Amino acid sequence: MSVNAISQDSFYDIQHISEIRLNFTQTNWDATLDSLFLNYGEDGRLIGNISIDGNLLKNVGVRYKGYSSWNVDDKKSPFNVELEYTQNNRNYLGYTKLKLSNVIHDPSFIREVLSYEIARKYMPASKANFANIYVNDTLLGLYTNVESVDKIFIGKHFSSSGNSFFKGAPENLIYPFGQNANLAYTHGTDSSGYMPYYKLESDLYGWKDLLQLIYTLNVDTTHIPEILNVDRALWMHAFNYVLLNLDSYIGYSQNYYLYRDDNGQFNTIPWDFNMSFGSFRHSDGTMLNLTIAKMKQLSPLQILNTTPFTPRPLIKNLLQNPTYKRMYLAHMRTIIDENFRNNEYYIRGQIIQTLIDSSVKNDTNKFYPYADFQNNLNSDVGTTADQYPGIKSLMDARISYLDTFPGFSGAPMITAIQHTPLHPKLNNDLWINATILSSVSQILSYRFNTNGLFTSTLMYDDGNHQDGIAGDNIYGAKIILSGKTIQYYIYAENDSAGRFSPERAAYEFLSIQPGISPSDFAINEFMATPQTVASNPNGNFENWIEFINTTNEKMNLKDVYLSNDKNNLLKWQFPDTTLNPKAYLIVWADNTTSQNGIHANFKLSENGGQFFVTNADLAPIDNVTYLTQVSGMTTGRFPNGSGPFVNMQPTFSKCNSMITTDKSVSIFPNPAFGKVYLEVWNQFNPFTFEIYSANGQIMKTEYFSSGVEEFSFTTKEIDISNFQKGVYILKISIKDTTFTKKLIVL
């Protein structure tokens, strides 16, 4: 299987068990890795080759990882593999680091993978599945394969990846009485006092920001919401307490990340679920060696009622706020209702165990008997002194206990959420209404872009907020619409409990899209002449229109219309389709609406014509009038998405390009060895070039600008001395144009 044959997400698809083979020249590789880890920790790596599902990457850096999961006497130790160790910009399906855990402390084999699956519903959390690991062609066993929380992960979940980024991972874990990464303001006023307890993951800076968070969290608590994403932290605590994931901030104050987003707020990201569902039994620094019976009834508010061995401000100073406490308990109730009360976790556990059953049987280095694997989903296994709770027996009792816990029942009910007007416009009033029962406080939180902060306002039942008559339990609030989208949720509480709508807020939210403005959704290219450029899903070559979402927000098209008749602008309505930011959409203009794909109910005239895009209220979005097209050519915007319409070579569902020849770019010598030269016509700089291996890995990337504007060529020397022999693809991106050229390395 080639890398190009599977998607990035396939690597962590739960249905896919990877085969990963590590190869070292050293026959004593195990002793060497033990020694490196013991003496150098994260800095000691052994160079070897790795094959992932048949794809070979040479000279990667390998080390052991973990503390409780690594033991010098074990044959099955956990691995950390750095693909970029000897070569920058090398990756596998976009990932540069592999985290492979040895499934110790989990006879069921599913704790980690199942827990990540649940966590991803409520917060940014890693993907995870399984892999069979071989070293020098000897099977070590079945491992969990967990997505690394690194800059790639951060970039996918936040609007940036270069801000302050830390891991709660003390250099020397001290338990049970150590400070570790507890975020307490106990190491002085200088950031250097905190460096042994947190690992800096960002480049060069961040300690000042972390110290500011710690100070605010402990001393200046009224300003906590300005520097901490409180809701994200409450979700992490709720998850840890429901699933009894105690090897976390709850226990020894570790196994979490902090990333400071562009809004200046730190976001918590959980990590390391291999001992969830009660495998780890120390909680909040207040309770050691918990019995299974005590874990089943572990209070989610114990930190408020007991004094921990060391401070826990990230949870205690939040839960002392009555509203935050009710929000936290509401999140716990949501996790229980959506995963445990409906038995979904148990069904998923059975499915996952069936998937890995044969691999567990073949794992001769697993830490527990195969019978324990079969039984631990349901029942306790192990010795009396070292017993692992059955996941189902534990959670059945946990649900029964939490159902009676104050703050879980009696929450308000939120229904009938609606907005007026139905088609809001920018800078106009927008009213949000909902029926809310048994509530004493109602809050509407909203924002106008996906990466922005939520603003909160009260909702009223006073007859003055588009809410009907006073006292009818219909509440309203007004917003002045000022963005491409509005994302919002409602929170209501009484003296007993709170509730969100939607329940997964603020990670999930409701959305309203104002009428689409001109230039946000553009006709980008179309073909009205007979064509052989691209066939529709039924294999027919028909005329087509390409549209582009030029914004940074998702766009729903259900209230958008397309027509070729200015007297009937509502001739054809787009289906309920969501278009991603900067994405393209093809509409087949063939008057065949019964076929697969999106087909308009009219055809484009070969002899010229016009067509229009409008909102449901007939507000114009875009239009074009065209003459007879040149055969084989299209009409499209240049620059892409915004410029005037010009004739061009077809660029179906791609960025429009006015360059119709590749003579403006050349590489030499080719084949090459050691170095190669890239020659680019100056009219088209600055440019970016990337070199890909045959299996899709990025080998080199660089942005280049000559600073020269006259009509001549600029030559760029590229070092390829560390490239293996083979065929590579050179991709050059110049303005709105992309070239690809084949490069042979000798």
Here the CATH number for the domain that contains residue 723 is 2.60.40.1930
* Three-class DSSP category at 360: helix
**Domain stop point among 95, 118, 147:** 147
Here the CATH number for the domain that contains residue 635 is 2.60.40
User: Which regions of 520-664 does DSSP assign to beta strands (E)?
Assistant: 521-527, 544-549, 555-556, 560-563, 572-573, 578-579, 584-588, 609-615, 620-626, 634-637, 645-648
DSSP of 39-90: HHGGG--EEEEEEETTEEEEEEEEEE--STT--TT-SS--EEEETTSSSTT-
Q: What integer best gives the mean pLDDT of the chain?
A: 91
Q: What is the pLDDT of residue 622?
A: 97
Q: What is the pLDDT of residue 706?
A: 53
- Which range, of 20-24, 29-33, 227-231, 539-543, averages the lowest pLDDT? 539-543
Q: What is the pLDDT of residue 555?
A: 94
Residue 655 within a domain? no
Q: Are residues 239 and 318 in the same domain?
A: yes
- Which range, of 432-446, 480-494, 658-672, 715-729, averages the lowest pLDDT? 658-672
Q: What is the pLDDT of residue 640?
A: 87
DSSP of 158-183: SS-SSS-EEE---SS--TTT--TT--
- Give the pLDDT mean for 419-443: 94
Q: Per this entry, what is the length of the chain? A: 746
Residue 199 within a domain? yes
**Which range of residues forms the domain containing residue 307?**
152-342+378-403
**Domain stop point among 101, 126, 147:** 147
Q: What is the pLDDT of residue 662?
A: 53
- Give the pLDDT mean for 185-206: 93
- Give the pLDDT mean for 268-297: 90
- Give the pLDDT mean for 276-305: 89
Q: What is the pLDDT of residue 383?
A: 84
Asked if residue 141 has pLDDT above 80, the reply is: yes
- Give the pLDDT mean for 2-30: 81
- Give the pLDDT mean for 548-555: 93
Residue 660 within a domain? no
Q: What is the pLDDT of residue 3?
A: 39
Q: Band of the pLDDT at 663, cuts 50, 70, 90?
A: low
CA atoms within 13 A on the CB side of 184: 17
- Give the pLDDT mean for 37-51: 91
Q: Are residues 476 and 581 in the same domain?
A: no
Q: Are residues 596 and 530 in the same domain?
A: yes
Residue 350 within a domain? no
Q: Considering only residues 727 and 246, tell me which one the structure prediction assigns the higher pLDDT.
A: 246
Q: Are residues 539 and 642 in the same domain?
A: yes
Residue 361 within a domain? no
Q: Are residues 31 and 124 in the same domain?
A: yes
Q: Considering only residues 119 and 665, tell me which one the structure prediction assigns the higher pLDDT.
A: 119
Q: Are residues 320 and 389 in the same domain?
A: yes
- Give the pLDDT mean for 272-280: 95
Q: What is the pLDDT of residue 2?
A: 33
Q: What is the pLDDT of residue 6?
A: 44
Q: Are residues 478 and 388 in the same domain?
A: no
pTM listed for this prediction: 0.85
Q: Are residues 72 and 129 in the same domain?
A: yes
CA distance linking residue 588 with residue 585, whole number of Å: 10
Q: Considering only residues 709 and 273, tell me which one the structure prediction assigns the higher pLDDT.
A: 273
- Which range, of 27-36, 276-285, 615-624, averages the lowest pLDDT? 276-285
Residue 372 within a domain? no
Asked if residue 690 has pLDDT above 90, the reply is: no
DSSP tag of 468:
S
- Give the pLDDT mean for 282-295: 84
- Give the pLDDT mean for 385-397: 94
Closest listed residue to residue 214, CA positions, set 248, 240, 174, 179: 179
* Cβ-proximal residues to 18 (8 Å cutoff; 6+ apart), any chain: 11, 52, 53, 129, 130, 131, 132, 145
* Three-class DSSP category at 601: coil
Q: Are residues 197 and 320 in the same domain?
A: yes
Asked if residue 217 has pLDDT above 60, the reply is: yes
Q: Are residues 689 and 736 in the same domain?
A: yes
**Domain stop point among 512, 539, 574:** 512
Q: Band of the pLDDT at 713, cuts 50, 70, 90?
A: low
Q: Band of the pLDDT at 347, cuts 50, 70, 90?
A: very high
Number of domains within the chain = 5
How does pLDDT run across 66-117, given as a tens digit for each residue?
877 888 888 999 999 999 999 888 899 989 999 999 999 999 999 999 999 9
Asked if residue 546 has pLDDT above 50, the reply is: yes
Here the CATH number for the domain that contains residue 429 is 2.60.40.10
User: Which regions of 102-255 does DSSP assign to beta strands (E)?
Assistant: 128-135, 138-147, 165-167, 199-200
Q: Report yes or no: 349 and 108 within 8 Å, Cβ to Cβ.
A: yes
CA distance linking residue 487 with residue 287, whole number of Å: 41
- Give the pLDDT mean for 24-47: 92
Q: What is the pLDDT of residue 681?
A: 58
Q: Band of the pLDDT at 677, cuts 50, 70, 90?
A: confident
Crossing angle of helices 344-362 and 111-119, in 10° steps, is 140
Q: Band of the pLDDT at 658, cuts 50, 70, 90?
A: low
Q: Are residues 451 and 542 in the same domain?
A: no
Residues facing 317 on adjacent strands: none
Q: What is the pLDDT of residue 205?
A: 83
Q: Are residues 542 and 474 in the same domain?
A: no
Q: What percent of the chain has pLDDT over 90?
A: 70
Rg (CA), the chain: 29
Residue 65 within a domain? yes
Q: Considering only residues 309 and 738, tell me which one the structure prediction assigns the higher pLDDT.
A: 309
Residue 18 within a domain? yes
Q: Report yes or no: 253 and 310 within 8 Å, Cβ to Cβ.
A: yes
